[in-house]
Amino acid sequence: MEGPDSFRVSVTVALDNQANELYFEVPVEYAQSLSLDVADAFIVGLIPWAAISGCSLKSELPVSQDLLFRLRTFFLPFYAKFTNTQLVELMAKPVEVKTTASGVATGLSCGIDSLSTIYDFYLNAASETPQISHLTFFDVGSNGDGQKSKELFEYRLANARKCAGKLSLPLITITSNLCQFNKSIRQYENLVYINNIACAILLKRLIGVYYLPSTYSIFEAYHWTRGGERHLDTYEATIIPMLSSHELQLYLTGTISDRIEKTCKVVQVPESRIFLNVCVKEARNCGKCFKCVRTLLTLDLLDVLEEYYEVFDIDDYKNHAQTYWAKAKAAAYRDVFFATLVNARSSRTTSPVWLWYRFRNALKDGERFMRRKIKRRNPQHRTTN
C-alpha cells in the first residue's frame, strides 16, 4: 500500500478465526529496497508472539533457505528454552536467495552503543572494514505506548535526522505495529534484537551488512543479570549468528569494549556533544534515570563533563554527584555497568550512604524473585497462518 510519502507492506496474521494486520512502513523512496518476495521479516518478528501464544507459524510466502535453516536448527530451540515456552513449529517453503546487496547500515539511536559503532565503522573505519553507508531508525516498541510514546518517537527521530545530516549519511526510517503483537512480553529487552533484526531483514535488497551495537562486552555478558533477571540481550553474541544469513550478514559491534571504553570513542564523535540521547524516561536527557546517571558518571570520570552542557544539566548533576556515586556503588553487586564505573573510580571515596542503597536494592531483588516464582505459564499449542 502506497501513500504520498510512505509505502506500507503488510500480511494478515490469522489465529482462532481472528485476523490482524502486521505491517511495516517506510518512506516511499525506499519502497524498491524492501524484500517482498519472501516472508523473512514477518516470520522473525512474529516468533516471540507465536511462542507466548503457544502456536505454530505457517507462511504462504517462502522463507530464505539459509535463514529458515538457522531458525529451525538454532534460534527456535534456543528461544523456547530461554523463555520456557513451547517450541514454535515453522512451516514454510525454502527458497534460495543468491544476491547480496552492497549497502552497510546500523541503527542511529544517538546513544552510547550507537555512536561508538559509528565511530568504529564510519569515522574511524579500517580500510578493509565494510564502511557504514546508511543509518536506520526503527519504531518497533522502544518508545512505549500512548501519546507520550509518539512525542518520544518524534523528538528522537528529529534528533537522529539532524545527527545523520551532520554525519552526511542517509537515514532510513521504519515504523511497524509489531510491538502490538508482542505487547504481552514484559521486558522490551527481550524483544529489541528480534524487532530490530526483523526491520533490517526487510531492507535486504539495499543492505547486505548490518551492524548491531552490543549492550555488553563478551567478558560481561554471561556473568551478570539486571535485578536478578536474565534478559535476552545477555545472549546477544549467541543470538546474532542464528538470525544472520548469506544475504544479510549481521555483526555484533563493541563486543570487546566496556561502557567506559565505548564512551571514550563517543567523545571522539563531535556530533555527540549536540545529539547524545540516552534517556529512558523523557525525550531530552532527564539527568535522573539510570542511563542518564551512568552516562554522566562516565563523562565525569573521563573529565569531559563540561563538553556535554548542551545535552545534560551539568549544574544539577554536580549538586547530586556524591549521591549518584553512592547509588552506583550500592548497585555494583548486581549491575555490571555501575561495577565498571566504581572499579575505575576506586581511588576516590564515596559517601557511606551507599550501604542504605544496597540494602534497598537487595529488598527489591527479593521481591522480584518471589513474583517470578509465583508466576506460572502453561501455553496450549495452536497454529497460525
What's the pLDDT tens digit per position in 12-69?
Answer: 999 888 889 999 999 999 999 998 999 999 999 999 999 988 999 999 999 999 999 9
Residue 126 or residue 72, greater confidence? 72
Bridge partners, 229 (sequence order): 226
Amino acid at position 336, single letter = V
Mean pLDDT of the chain: 86
Residue identified by cell 516498541 is 141
**Cβ 347 vs Cβ 321: under 8 Å:** no
pLDDT score at 217:
86
Distance in angstroms (rounded) separating the CA atoms of residues 72 and 68: 6
pLDDT of residue 106 exceeding 80, the answer is yes
Least Cα distance to 109 among 196, 205, 180, 24 occurs for 196
Neighbours of 89 (CB within 10 A): 14
Each residue's pLDDT tens digit, 228-246: 556 777 888 889 999 999 9
Is residue 385's pLDDT more than 70?
Answer: no
CA–CA separation, 354 and 339 (whole Å) = 13
Distances (CA, A) of 27 to 189, 227, 301: 27, 39, 41
**Distance of alpha carbon 232 from alpha carbon 223, whole angstroms:** 13
Q: What is the pLDDT of residue 357?
A: 43
The confidence score (pLDDT) of residue 78 equals 94
The full length of the chain comes to 385
Summarised one tens digit per residue, pLDDT across range 337-370 is 888 898 888 755 444 444 444 445 556 556 655 6
Q: Do strands 134-139 and 171-176 pair parallel, antiparallel, or not at all (unpaired)?
A: parallel
Going by pLDDT thresholds of 50, 70 and 90, the confidence category of residue 188 is low
pLDDT attached to residue 2: 53
Map out the domains of the chain as residue ranges. Answer: 6-256, 285-368
pLDDT confidence of residue 345: 84
How far apart are the C-alpha atoms of 234 and 255, rounded to whole Å? Answer: 12
Q: Which residue has the higher pLDDT, 143 or 11?
A: 11
Q: CB–CB of 296/324 below 8 Å? A: yes
If one counts every other C-beta atom within 10 angstroms of the C-beta of residue 79, the result is 23
Of residues 15 and 314, the one with the higher pLDDT is 314
Give the span between the Cα atoms of 93 and 58, in whole angstroms. 10
Q: Output the pTM of the full model.
A: 0.87
Q: What is residue 376's predicted lDDT score, i.e. its pLDDT? A: 47
